[in-house]
Structure 1
Amino acid sequence: MKFVTFEVDGKRQAGIFKDSRIIGLHEASNGVIPEDLMKIIVDYPRYQPLIEQCHNGGYTLENVRLYAPLPHPISIRDFYAFEDHVITARGKRGLDVVPEWYEIPVFYFSNHLAVKGPGDVVLRPDKCEKLDYELEIACVIGKEGRNIKASQAKDYMFGFMIMNDWSARDIQAQEMKVGLGPAKGKDFATSFGPSLVTTDELSIEQGKLDLQMEAFVNGEQYSLGNAKNMYYSFAELIEQASRNVTLYPGEIIGSGTVGSGCILEQSGREFLKPGDRVDLSITHLGTLTNVVGEEDAHGLLSENGGDSL
């Protein structure tokens, strides 16, 4: 299933994208299925049979506003799992890959209260001159678990969605000299969407997905990769994330940037500026679009992005 969170007539609710229409699950079930997708995920075995019976009615994509599938996730752990990205990004800074990278998958916690959705304007932070996108794929945890083995991790994967880990490279470079990891360089926005696709619609082999990943800036292709090229699988990421810690439904596990998946890795390209449109596309997951804006004396730039499921 393709789950979405959308708004129509001023009311935000969970839905599924089916037969080119968005079906509001609360409406279609006569109020039995919750309006909040997080509540559906937490009790999914109960609601799944009811969701499968929701066929009638619905809205066209043009008549709704899409939000991130989980506008308020419990947490966001973003890993660093693509070797090509690590080699290239560190090489741009004159650094080798540290041996420890090959020993354990590492992550940082991003700001789960700064989530953006399809079509949202993402504001370039003040004093940032090197705004970058990061093309990633994210897994949503579907059930509670602790010390999960990689061999069991698939049972905890509810679904996947596109993730854009926006990065203020100049701010990030300054603060990471302290040695504590990214903070304000990542703090301002992370985009997800347009939909959350359940694992039963995707082929997952040994914790990996064979999905093409692309990024476009103002219609020009900047990035091309594949999720199968992760050095560490999602199964291994979940094993690491759950070590000595309980994971809960609605937590997000990010893959990190695919090889070539950001401007930092490339030569001769300018960083993002207000008015630029960024489209991230992943096979079966759709296209996530955002436009870069900034605050000025007249308020926010009002460029609209687009949504493609």
Structure 2
Amino acid sequence: MKIARIQIEGTTRVGIVDGDQVQPLAADTDMSELLAATPAQRAEFVQRATEGEPRPLSEVRLLVPVQPRTLRDFLTFEEHLEGSLKLLGAPAPHPAWYDQPLFYFSNTNAVMGPDDPVAVPPGCRLLDFELELAAVIGKPGKDLSPEQAAEHIAGYTLFNDWSARDLMSPVVPVGMGPVKGKDFANTLGPWIVTADELAPYRRDGRLALEMHAELNGAALPAGGDNSANMSWSFEEMVAFASRGAELVPGDVLASGTCGAGCLLEYWAHTDSEEPPPLRPGDVVTLVVEGIGSVSNPIVAGAEPVAVPRARVEQRRRARPWNTAGSS
């Protein structure tokens, strides 16, 4: 089942996508209840909530399919990690990367949907996209095993982790994350495909979906990747994320960028800015087998507001460890 959020006649509805049509559900439909249901319960739920006739997808506006309370972005594709490190001049992945599926929290206030314009962030010259797959939580859970985690994944969607590369590079070494390099936009869409519908694509206990990105209608020359190349499965990622933390319906866990899934990797391997950074007028499209595609146009953004450098050499309070003769 493909579950979407749609806008029709000025109202927001949940809709079920079938081919090139979408069936609106009743206005009071609870997305969380739909995500938490089993496949059989979901079918009954939709039958009860169906309202009106199906509509062509071309006649409705697709909205972001879920508005997550938390959005964790992992880094599970080793090829992307190696390409990123090459540009930074790092010799090899840090040994800690291999020990556990690492992630950071992204900005849930900057989630965008299909066809929403993405503004170049203030001061950015090296705007990039990132092709990712994401799991959507359907049932709450904490301290889950990977086997238990499978029952808590409602479905999957596409995720574009937009990146301002030049805003990231000077601050990442501080150790607090990408800061404004990731703070401005991320895209989810076009809909959520339930886990049972993607079951035929599973290989060796994980999803095996072909993934590629297109820029202005043309696929990038290096080709894409397959989600089977993730170093951890989504079930393992969910289990790790739930360690000591409650996951709730609608939470999103993204895979991290796949191999050749961003411009940064091209720049790293060609030692040039080709293809060039994204500019206003460009359109980025992500395509994932079994799910669909999501596009966003790039538009001009605002100029940066000046912020001063740190105030230094302030008067500091005396501390016991700074007192002469202290041990």
TM-score (norm 2): 0.84
Tell me which structure has the larger Cα radius of gyration: 2
Distance 1:181 1:286 in 2: 31
Distance 1:188 1:250 in 2: 21
Deviations 1:221-253 (A, max 9, x none): 124111111011111111110111111111000
Deviation at 1:194, TM superposition (A): 0.7
Name the residue aligned to 1:15: 15
Deviations 1:173-216 (A, max 9, x none): 12212111122111111101111000010123455211100101
Q: Partner amino acid for 2:264? A: L
Distance 1:36 1:190 in 2: 24
SS in structure 2 opposite 1:137? strand
Name the residue aligned to 2:71: 76
Name the residue aligned to 1:217: 215
Deviation at 1:61, TM superposition (A): 1.1
Deviation at 1:35, TM superposition (A): 3.6
**Residue 51 (str. 1) matches residue 20 (str. 2):** no
Name the structure where strand makes up a greater proportion of residues: 1
TM-score (norm 1): 0.89
SS in structure 1 opposite 2:180? coil
Distance 1:291 1:56 in 2: 32
SS in structure 1 opposite 2:170? helix
Inter-CA distance 20–56: structure 2 relative to 1 (3 Å threshold): farther
Gaps of 5+ in 2: 304-327
Contact 2:121 / 2:302 at 8 angstroms: preserved in 1? Answer: no
Deviation at 1:65, TM superposition (A): 0.6
Name the residue aligned to 1:284: 290
Over the matched positions of the two proteins, sequence identity in percent amounts to: 38
Distance 2:146 2:133 in 1: 18
Distance 1:150 1:35 in 2: 30
Contact 2:209 / 2:227 at 8 angstroms: preserved in 1? Answer: yes
SS in structure 2 opposite 1:145? coil
Inter-CA distance 36–174: structure 2 relative to 1 (3 Å threshold): farther
Distance 1:47 1:264 in 2: 41
Deviations 1:87-133 (A, max 9, x none): 11111111120001001110000011111111110011010001000
Inter-CA distance 138–145: structure 2 relative to 1 (3 Å threshold): same
Output aligned runs, 1:260-271, within 5 Å.
Answer: 260-266=260-266, 267=270, 268-271=274-277
Gaps of 5+ in 1: 298-309
Deviation at 1:168, TM superposition (A): 0.5
Q: Partner amino acid for 1:64? A: V
Deviations 1:57-80 (A, max 9, x none): 12111111111101x211100000
Deviation at 1:151, TM superposition (A): 2.1
Deviations 1:245-302 (A, max 9, x none): 11111100000000110000003321101110101000111110000011369xxxxx
Contact 1:154 / 1:207 at 8 angstroms: preserved in 2? Answer: no
**Residue 115 (str. 1) matches residue 111 (str. 2):** yes
Q: CA RMSD in A?
A: 1.9
SS in structure 2 opposite 1:291? strand
Deviation at 1:41, TM superposition (A): 2.4
Contact 1:42 / 1:250 at 8 angstroms: preserved in 2? Answer: no
Distance 1:41 1:251 in 2: 11
Q: Partner amino acid for 1:165? A: D
Contact 1:108 / 1:182 at 8 angstroms: preserved in 2? Answer: no
Of residues 186, 193, 196, the one that matches 2:192 is: 196
Distance 2:302 2:142 in 1: 46
Of residues 27, 30, 41, the one that matches 2:35 is: 41
| Paired positions, count | 290
Contact 1:16 / 1:22 at 8 angstroms: preserved in 2? Answer: yes
Deviation at 1:46, TM superposition (A): 5.6
SS in structure 2 opposite 1:38? helix
Deviations 1:108-161 (A, max 9, x none): 000111111111100110100010000000000110111111122211110000
Q: Partner amino acid for 1:57? A: E
**Residue 86 (str. 1) matches residue 81 (str. 2):** yes
Distance 2:291 2:191 in 1: 7
Distance 2:302 2:186 in 1: 22
Name the residue aligned to 1:138: 134
Output aligned runs, 1:131-280, within 5 Å.
Answer: 131-203=127-199, 204-205=202-203, 207-222=205-220, 223-266=223-266, 267=270, 268-280=274-286
Distance 1:38 1:55 in 2: 19
Deviation at 1:20, TM superposition (A): 2.6
